[in-house]
Amino acid sequence: MSSITSYVYPESKYSRIAEAGRPPAFLGCFRDVFVDSHLVLPAAAPEDSGTQANVTLGCSDRDKCDDGPCQNRGRCVSLGWRRHRCECHRPYEGNNCEEEYITARFGSKDFESYAVFSIDDHLGDTVILSMFIRTRQSNGLLLILANSTSQYLRLWLEDSKVKLQVNNFETLVGRNGIADGHFHLLTVKLEGTVASLYQSAQSQGSMTIRHVQAHPGDLVFVGGLPDTRASASFGGYFKGCIQDLRLNRRRLQFYPIAAPVESYALEKLTDVAEGCSSDNACAVNPCLNGGECYAMWDDFICSCPPNTAGRRCEEVKWCLSNVTFRPESRVLQYRSNGKIERSLASISLSFRTRQPDAILLHAQREADHLTISLLNSRLKLTLRVGAGKGSPEVTAESQASLSQGEWHNVAITKETQWTVVLDGGKEIISVSETALEDLNFLREGADVFLGGLNQDSGVSFSGCLGPVEIGGLLLPFHLDTELNLPRPQEEQFERIQTSSAPQYGCFGTSVCSPNPCQNAGACEDLFDSHRCACSAEWTGPLCREPTDKCRSSPCVHGVCVNQPEGFQCECKPGHTGERCEAEIDACENSTCGHGATCLKGFQSYTCLCPRNMTGTYCNEKIPEIPWYIEIDPLPQLPVTSCMGMKWNYSCFNGGNCSKTDNTCYCLPGFTGQWCEKDVDECASDPCLNGGFCINYVNSFECVCDMNYSGIYCQMDVSDFYMYLFLGLWQNLFQLVSYLVIRLDDEPEIEWGFYVNE
């Protein structure tokens, strides 16, 4: 049997013969190919013989995508046996996404560069224009589609945002800026009568347009126009990089790649460089005052030395220290150097004082003036600008007190109106809208004073001032001759020299020397004020008063009373102990009699007696009722359970829980804290004349002797019984007399007795 060794003919340049009208080369495996009984395949052939090309021994059916042939994050799609296709991400192209579209650099070294392409087909009803762009320039022309008569699509940058205009009329502006030095994918879609703008796959908006129709012969201008003035109307020539420019499915290549792709013809390329190189922004040494320049792509950053700031280190921090004003100090005076051109629309300063009334800043030129002061510890702004135009004076005053010795920041700015912001927004004050002008009168010979109204009036402020700025320009505390610092910026406020220099730094008065705190108290400097840290035995502002030993509330359930040697707790009812921390158990040593129940109260206890006992401690026996007296039995009344603040308790004999803790509402006839006692209505001996008293609930009954009657046995009925007895004897006597008389009237009867013998 013949060998199964096979040859594979992979897809190669020979398989493209079909383009010349021939079928493509075979892709597959052969085995045991004989010609005239001679084995042709498989067969070995020298490499330089030219008889074999792209022939591999074996017959593998492995999926080509398993080898990961697609580069640059391309997606491999299997097309069956031994075939695949790579779907490439932009800006990559090629069978295996191995090629990147060449980036074109516009405006290198500020050259006026542009490119022109020609369109040789109809674009149809849908036009999709897309490209990668990278720039740091806020304005510049990106692309124009034009025919022989008009420019029907314009795309340019304005204030870092993309602007699209169609048919010289409809205009759409992107929402996000792109002049940040990064690549952004920009896409414009014209679909019928709708134009849409996308930036990095995010919609920037859409608009309705008139239909656009492109024809063969139309031109695409990229980066600028041949006419310099025409380009200037779109912000000038574009400075940056453009890559992978596409119009529908065809490319516009500035520098073609090796992979065959459909492209429009490049007609002209002017000063457009290959790649995306950066201009050396540090070549001209843009950093001032000894700042060190670091180049970035089409940009630079400056590492500024101390005491300087700004993008180019052009701003000198004139004075980083604070100054202290005291009554013996001099007012600081400033004046513009005559070169200030910026609009002065802001003031910022910081201060620290305990003075309720003071002038912080005052500036004046003729009738225009500005005053920032303290009045009753509140900040007050007085402003009048444009007095010659009849503008009124306006004022604003804060609500917060600012004279506690703490640092406070003041920021005054003008947008639609002047606004005062205290301490970063803790309080915001809006000034009347009638004062809308800037402080530009300060640029033209106005005097600015710190610490007072003028030199003649003297200092009215006692405290510290931090950096003061007007329109972003610092008012230096030092003279030019005092510091060896460069002064590159021309716009300055200059300090007028006086006979004495200010006191640099922030220092309060000497409030702790000598030590005002007595009894070994420690003095703490709080800027123009002090606080005494006293020992445990003393208190008060100067540690002169004995300590209130009851301040910590040591008594748990009692009232604290200061004593020379300490304190004493007067306990509330029901508590005891040195700090009234223990609860008293009133029943612990109770003397309730045998069979009685002790009921605990806050201060004392009571005894619940059984039925046959009475008395405070249930040690007295209730007298027995004589046998011949009948009584009604006492009712069995319910017991109520109550929830107390300290413990649960019960209300006896039908009593109800009270709102007052540990007490009860009792039924008539019962008393005691818990209604435990039956009121003995017989205790007052209400029965008279020896009557026997029977106690009932809320009542009593008197059992009287036979000679007395009534509720209290108060009626003597002894005479009534005598008359009754005499009457009975009289009647009895009359009856006996009657019987004797009748017997005398009857015949005599002999009564004889016989005895039988």
For residue range 155-196, list pLDDT tens digits in order.
999 999 999 999 988 999 999 999 999 999 999 999 999 999
As a whole number of angstroms, the distance between CA 143 and CA 225 comes to: 9
Query: Which band of pLDDT confidence, cut at 50, 70 and 90, is reported for residue 616?
Result: confident
Residue-wise DSSP of 222-290: ES--SSHHHHHTTTSS--EEEEEEEETTEEE-SS--SS---BPEEEEEES-EES-----TTTT----TT
Predicted pLDDT at 744: 64
Predicted pLDDT at 432: 66
Predicted pLDDT at 488: 56
Predicted pLDDT at 258: 93
Predicted pLDDT at 230: 94
- 662 within 8 A of 602, measured Cβ to Cβ: yes
CA 220, 224, 226, 227: dihedral to nearest 10 degrees? 130
Question: Which of 202-216, 418-432, 739-753 is most confident?
Answer: 202-216
Predicted pLDDT at 433: 61
Architecture of domain 317-420+428-504: Sandwich (2.60)
Predicted pLDDT at 126: 93
Least confident of 255-269, 349-363, 658-672, 726-740: 726-740
pLDDT digits (tens, 9 = 90+) for 646-658: 778 889 888 999 8
For residue 451 the two structure tokens come to: 């610490």
pLDDT > 90 in the chain, percent: 43
Whether residue 17 has pLDDT greater than 90:
no
Strand partners, 524: 531
Predicted pLDDT at 751: 47
Residues 6+ apart with CB under 8 A from 673: 599, 601, 606, 662, 663, 664
Q: Report the pLDDT averaged over residues 428-437.
A: 73
Whether residue 312 has pLDDT greater than 70:
yes
Which of 438, 486, 94 is CA-nearest to residue 289?
Answer: 486
Predicted pLDDT at 127: 95
For residue 225 the two structure tokens come to: 């126009």
- Preceding peptide of 486 cis, ω within 30°: no
Predicted pLDDT at 288: 86
- 106 within 8 A of 242, measured Cβ to Cβ: yes
Q: Report the pLDDT averaged over residues 477-502.
A: 75
As a whole number of angstroms, the distance between CA 379 and CA 520 comes to: 39
**HSE of 655, CA atoms in CB hemisphere, 13 A:** 25
pLDDT > 70 in the chain, percent: 90
- 574 within 8 A of 661, measured Cβ to Cβ: no
Q: Report the pLDDT averaged over residues 680-702.
A: 87
Q: Where are the domains of the chain?
A: 6-60, 102-274, 317-420+428-504
Predicted pLDDT at 388: 67
pLDDT digits (tens, 9 = 90+) for 33-88: 888 888 887 777 777 777 777 777 777 777 889 889 999 999 999 987 778 899 99
Domains 102-274 and 317-420+428-504 equal at CATH topology level: yes
pLDDT digits (tens, 9 = 90+) for 313-328: 877 765 457 899 998 8
Please compute Rg for the chain using Cα positions.
Answer: 59
Whether residue 21 has pLDDT greater than 80:
no
Q: Report the pLDDT averaged over residues 120-135.
A: 94
Residue-wise DSSP of 516-581: ---TTPEEEE-SS-EEEE--TTEESTTS-EE--TTTT---TTEEEEEETTEEEEEEPTTEESTTS-
Whether residue 401 has pLDDT greater than 80:
yes
Q: Report the pLDDT averaged over residues 667-684.
A: 86
Model-wide pTM > 0.95: no
Whether residue 630 has pLDDT greater than 50:
yes
Looking at 2.60.120.200, 1.10.443.10, 2.60.40.10, 3.40.50.300, the CATH number of the domain 102-274 comes to 2.60.120.200
Q: Would the CA dihedral through 577, 580, 583, 584 be positive or negative?
A: positive
